Amino acid sequence: MFKRKKRERKFYFYSSLISIALPIFLLILEYFIYEDSTNLDSGFRAFFITFMWILLVLAIFRTLYNYKKLKEISNKQNNNKQN
């Protein structure tokens, strides 16, 4: 039971980390790739940047949700230790 909880905590931590790091990485990569962009791909660039910002906001909400789940797991674990 304890290993499952530990695995579950790792899952929430790493999924939060990846979901925040990926959009940031892609936004930085996009900046360097499209530094010398033309007017032809400005529409795609605007869409891509907007989409990445939306993903970043969703990732922050997911991280807050995962943090809440981790607190619940910790509280359950503390309650089991006290009983």
Residue with more model confidence, 66 or 9: 66
Instruction: Please give the Cα distance from 29 to 24 (Å, whole number).
Output: 9
Contact 59, 20 (CB under 8 A): yes
- pTM of the predicted model as reported, rounded to 2 decimal places: 0.66
Nearest to 63, CA basis, from 24, 5, 6: 24
Average pLDDT of the chain to the nearest whole number: 79
Return the structure tokens found at 18: 């990846």
Instruction: Give the pLDDT of residue 1.
Output: 47
Residues 64, 69, 75, 77: is their CA dihedral positive or negative? Answer: negative
Name the residue type at position 30: E
